[in-house]
Structure 1
């Protein structure tokens, strides 16, 4: 049944730690004693692609010379940006309310509640100049918050708004989702269940599957904030600016690139380079990463260049974790493009000798920029010493301090559930009489899975055979492409009685079920050969120890996953290709009449159903143990523990996991054991 494996040529390696490996002898990497740490494999593989993408970005930039070429580039990137975050909803009535006022020293504050979408409430504070000193209508500035727990109430954010009002400009500051008064998940006691980056990342999981992003909601809230400013008679609708720090710098960058109503912009402590950031600090939370943007050429500098020649000020800090050298490099690219257009004076940068944060000189610089371009006053204004602002209680907009305690309030999770239900109805209609004609092309495109006949044969490294009672273990390392190594264990019974072989993949790697009394050895003792393999980023190459938000909820490889996300790639797709290539190779080692059964456990079932559905000739039988019941369930639950590596951006616009399982049933035997929901609890298939 089994062909010869050939001469054993490589020395067995047992020195490098792996994850979830029961037997030290089952550790195969690195193949070279001084080779890179196996857990860094995926990061290094992806960083090489980032470097290639950056070279292309630089070439494209240098080729962009004329105003016509720049205009075409701006339109292309805006279109791609909006597509990558799933587009925007229709405008609906804001239903604004002024829930209270506060009289400060030289300025006045109105506490505002509006609906960016029906029953989706936004809490904001409008800082207004003293009408006795400055006559309306005033220039209006939208101020976006960074990741402060108390949102708009943070003192330095209020001080920036008050400084604007003291100098004759209105400033509307609003709470982002999961900050201040806008926590989207509350406990039974009305307290935030998740806050700040933790909340943003959780929103990002379900949003990703819908083709959205946490940024989709943040940007739309900002756009509606500008709508509110322009609706007021005391605001000059033609003089709109935007500024914000840290996460507010992110929002400012997005808004200034996409909303043409923003004339002057001053993002602070954010703009650097995504290409450089992946090498240095790695990805930040969900909204700071747009699907595919490094592949289609949208770096931080592009947020400035997409709006050229409107006035843009980069506010930076010398000791920021957003790398200052990357910030200056990005600034130079933007400055050169502005100069090509004849408006070099409209692109500027200030650098404070500070750490990350909206420090005094950055606040003053941002407000001065607004004063220059929105009020035609080029003045060296300074923030008054000891500028008093509101307490958290004084700036509170809602009766009980949280929008989700308002009767009928809808969270971003509710909005995602609505969209998921809409997409489910569309899919049901499309799949009612079987898979749509072009389903394979659509699935391949979304997951990034090439046809098997376009994938090369793997290179195979064979290591010393291990003898066990009743069977042998042939250690292998398969390389489906440069930079990727898939450690594998080929368990061969002394007496082969089965007419098929099993390709076994487990979410924790090849050795997770290879204990003496485990499922793999049970199959082997029954006479079935088993090839257990680590899909990329699992087992020995599972990333561990990275700094990332909420590892226990989203997996230990969130930063590596986000590099792939920025490149427009999916772990599901890459792992599905691994399975297809390994399955084809395994078939070449068997007798012509032998078949292959694919067994997958846990999150490995997700690439498995993709591989089996798209390449039905490879696997005669498929067994799924503890599979995720559906991606829709991830969206429905809201709070979920589905790993990032198990997501496919926008998958639910075309298909869900049950659709792939239905396809498999048309050509192969499919067994599903112990399906789980998105919290790891038992579910019904």
Structure 2
């Protein structure tokens, strides 16, 4: 395994250097650094973040103009229809409705209410654990669905119980259910049957493995919520036409999604989530996977749109002054939403409750939520007060014998569901690659991965420094594939080149293989000109690689929110460098030998497959074998950066490898790793 640059540098200094390397004594930022420490007024390590901000700012401005153009109820309806359809499309759609097979496991008595413990199937053998808090009496009662925030105890968490009991004691049933990754529904268990990850960690792990399928953690969580409404509507003691939804934090996220997508939700009161994406990115940044819908910034779906998609049905935004979900963004959201509801003729149906509190569901929010639900579900409008009452223990509300649904006979996890779906897609992929022309399929690959066409990639190149070394010349160069992106590179040219030029891209940056007796030195000694570059966000322009996600996960999710993948952006960088290297000798341009290592492999594979004329050989070392393996094992570290949303509807990595291997003048070496946790 290639060692990190600093230790290699110490060895070089002690040994007196290598003839082909620049003088190290004079280097201030390292012998392989090309760019200044500051770019565009900020650290070079944040270049990608600044670039993404430019893209998000433009998208926010475009959405704002589209919002302001909506003046009539008819235009509002068209906007709702368009955004709802796009939201569902980018979530990957929802499965068919199947029998819930619900059954009750026990009953509990409370002060002024009663409780039923439940299990039902949102998909076949994909079990949901829930508790239903019912008022005293016969009903039918209105009901409120309460998805949980990121609490380990989920449905049994005190704040969820207090909201549910308050409703039940005041004439409204409440259904608390466990989300995946929480309570009794962990989807990734260890050998002892215990959760492997926290709720946030599991949500993002499941989400990473869902992305190649065009799905999202939210896809499963929204469907669980919709099926929970189905369950309520199946009961004779519930008035299925009077359904509400409320939840805090992650439950606020799901409340927002459900009110936006399920027209059966009459009124909603999401808590401590709604802000604006612009303020979110400017403050805490993207959060776990289900809070990031693919392309939503790109196609104009902001937090305010969740409220507006629910219009003209009543929505109460519950926010806290000192929440980490920015309060200023919440008020921007409310102002947009209020204007939208006013255009529809229902300004009184959207309101905001701000508590002088931190993140959570404080008493004043619970009381405000109850008053809102009573107003719209019971036609009662009066002040409400939460009196003292006890809550149940987690053990009291446990539904399964072991505390985990996955340990029930025949239970299927989200990973199982994804693997089954991928098996269906694999048959379709194979049929397409067998029958359809490669150029048609590759054009779709380019679009799916968002790889720029060659004639749209910038050609600007600068030589920043030239150093003569024994037997070779070293040039420090920078390439600019597009505004805001600089690719630092090291170009070694032997005095007597005898082999084809080599483009070397390493997932840990150009310095990772540039030490004495390492790959680049050996290639130069063998007579190859070698260009080693840092793809955007790697090497000089990257921070420390994240062991779990493979890169800065906030940048990964910001690009995901925009739509284009980092894989596609970095493939564009590879093409920029390959063309530069191939065309260096204008009198005799020559195809390039491509060597990619680690995180650089998936982008490099896309580049080679889409522009094979640039390459005479391609070697991929320590590469992800295929996305299908990652779908089956999403806990494998370092792969979030390597995924393309929805790619498995069209291709897997071996499809691109096979295409390259069929090229007569192309030599391909494919050396995948074994994907392990």
The corresponding residue for 2:470 is: 469
C-alpha deviations, 1:36-84, integer Å up to 9, x for none? Answer: 2111000000011111111111111110010000000000001000000
The corresponding residue for 1:277 is: 280
SS in 2 for 1:194: coil
The corresponding residue for 1:631 is: 627
Shift of 1:31: 7.0
Unmatched tracts of structure 1, length 5 or more: 1-11, 17-23, 546-550, 681-685
SS in 2 for 1:377: coil
Q: What CA distance in whole angstroms lies between the structure 1 residues aligned with 2:320 and 2:446?
A: 43
Q: Is the 8 A contact 2:37 2:43 kept in 1?
A: no
The corresponding residue for 2:129 is: 123
Q: Is the 8 A contact 2:549 2:640 kept in 1?
A: yes
**Inter-CA distance 139–617: structure 2 relative to 1 (3 Å threshold):** same
Q: What CA distance in whole angstroms lies between the structure 2 residues aligned with 1:273 and 1:301?
A: 7
Shift of 1:125: 0.4
**Inter-CA distance 265–368: structure 2 relative to 1 (3 Å threshold):** same
C-alpha deviations, 1:438-468, integer Å up to 9, x for none? Answer: 20221111101122123232x2221222333
The corresponding residue for 2:645 is: 649
Q: Is the 8 A contact 2:102 2:121 kept in 1?
A: yes
The corresponding residue for 2:582 is: 587
SS in 2 for 1:640: coil
The corresponding residue for 1:552 is: 547
**Inter-CA distance 434–236: structure 2 relative to 1 (3 Å threshold):** closer
Residues 3-152 of structure 1: pairs in structure 2 closer than 5 A = 14-16=27-29, 24-30=30-36, 35-131=41-137, 135-152=138-155
The corresponding residue for 1:531 is: 531
SS in 2 for 1:605: helix
Structure 1's consecutive aligned runs of 4 or more residues displaced over 3 angstroms after TM superposition are: 12-16, 31-35, 433-437
Match of 1:671 among 650, 668, 672: 668
| Structure 2 residue 162 is the aligned partner of structure 1 residue 159 | yes
CA-based RMSD of the aligned residues comes to: 1.6
**Inter-CA distance 589–437: structure 2 relative to 1 (3 Å threshold):** closer
Q: What CA distance in whole angstroms lies between the structure 2 residues aligned with 1:443 and 1:211?
A: 14
The corresponding residue for 1:371 is: 374
SS in 1 for 2:520: helix
Q: Is the 8 A contact 2:130 2:178 kept in 1?
A: yes
The corresponding residue for 1:541 is: 541
The corresponding residue for 1:442 is: 444
Q: Is the 8 A contact 1:630 1:677 kept in 2?
A: no
The corresponding residue for 1:4 is: none
Residues 248-263 of structure 1: pairs in structure 2 closer than 5 A = 248-263=251-266
SS in 1 for 2:490: strand
C-alpha deviations, 1:161-218, integer Å up to 9, x for none? Answer: 0000000000001000010000111112111112300000100111101000000000
C-alpha deviations, 1:513-562, integer Å up to 9, x for none? Answer: 101110110010011100000011111111349xxxxx421123100111
Indicate the larger mover: 596-605 or 117-126.
596-605
| Structure 2 residue 567 is the aligned partner of structure 1 residue 572 | yes
Indicate the larger mover: 138-147 or 577-586.
577-586
SS in 1 for 2:558: helix
Q: Is the 8 A contact 1:633 1:677 kept in 2?
A: no
**Inter-CA distance 533–332: structure 2 relative to 1 (3 Å threshold):** same
Shift of 1:148: 0.2
Shift of 1:666: 2.0
SS in 1 for 2:311: coil
Q: What CA distance in whole angstroms lies between the structure 2 residues aligned with 1:543 and 1:273?
A: 27
SS in 2 for 1:599: strand
Shift of 1:33: 8.3
Q: What CA distance in whole angstroms lies between the structure 2 residues aligned with 1:436 and 1:33?
A: 41
Shift of 1:623: 1.1
Residues 20-419 of structure 1: pairs in structure 2 closer than 5 A = 24-30=30-36, 35-131=41-137, 135-385=138-388, 387-419=389-421
SS in 1 for 2:310: coil
Residues 484-563 of structure 1: pairs in structure 2 closer than 5 A = 484-498=485-499, 500-544=500-544, 551-563=546-558
Q: Is the 8 A contact 2:583 2:590 kept in 1?
A: no
The corresponding residue for 1:481 is: 482
The corresponding residue for 1:20 is: none
SS in 1 for 2:509: coil
The corresponding residue for 1:5 is: none
Q: What CA distance in whole angstroms lies between the structure 2 residues aligned with 1:400 and 1:390?
A: 18
Shift of 1:492: 1.1
Q: Is the 8 A contact 2:660 2:668 kept in 1?
A: no
The corresponding residue for 1:6 is: none
Indicate the larger mover: 446-455 or 214-223.
446-455
Q: What CA distance in whole angstroms lies between the structure 1 residues aligned with 2:447 and 2:400?
A: 45
The corresponding residue for 2:11 is: none
The corresponding residue for 1:548 is: none
- More helix per residue: 2
**Inter-CA distance 45–294: structure 2 relative to 1 (3 Å threshold):** same
Shift of 1:276: 1.8
Q: Is the 8 A contact 2:106 2:116 kept in 1?
A: yes
Shift of 1:658: 0.2
Q: What CA distance in whole angstroms lies between the structure 2 residues aligned with 1:552 and 1:360?
A: 40
Shift of 1:367: 1.6
Q: Is the 8 A contact 1:116 1:221 kept in 2?
A: yes
C-alpha deviations, 1:251-302, integer Å up to 9, x for none? Answer: 0000000000001000000000112211221100000000000011100000
C-alpha deviations, 1:407-436, integer Å up to 9, x for none? Answer: 100000000010111111111122125755
**Inter-CA distance 294–593: structure 2 relative to 1 (3 Å threshold):** closer
**Inter-CA distance 593–466: structure 2 relative to 1 (3 Å threshold):** closer
**Inter-CA distance 270–508: structure 2 relative to 1 (3 Å threshold):** same
Indicate the larger mover: 275-284 or 227-236.
275-284
SS in 1 for 2:443: helix
**Inter-CA distance 316–33: structure 2 relative to 1 (3 Å threshold):** closer
Q: What CA distance in whole angstroms lies between the structure 1 residues aligned with 2:323 and 2:40?
A: 34
Q: Is the 8 A contact 1:462 1:475 kept in 2?
A: yes
Q: Is the 8 A contact 2:209 2:633 kept in 1?
A: no
SS in 2 for 1:600: strand
Q: Is the 8 A contact 2:458 2:480 kept in 1?
A: no
Indicate the larger mover: 324-333 or 580-589.
580-589
Q: What CA distance in whole angstroms lies between the structure 1 residues aligned with 2:435 and 2:242?
A: 55
User: What's the TM-score, normalizing by structure 1?
Assistant: 0.93
SS in 1 for 2:233: helix
SS in 2 for 1:351: strand
**Inter-CA distance 32–315: structure 2 relative to 1 (3 Å threshold):** closer
Q: What CA distance in whole angstroms lies between the structure 1 residues aligned with 2:503 and 2:122?
A: 50
SS in 2 for 1:463: strand
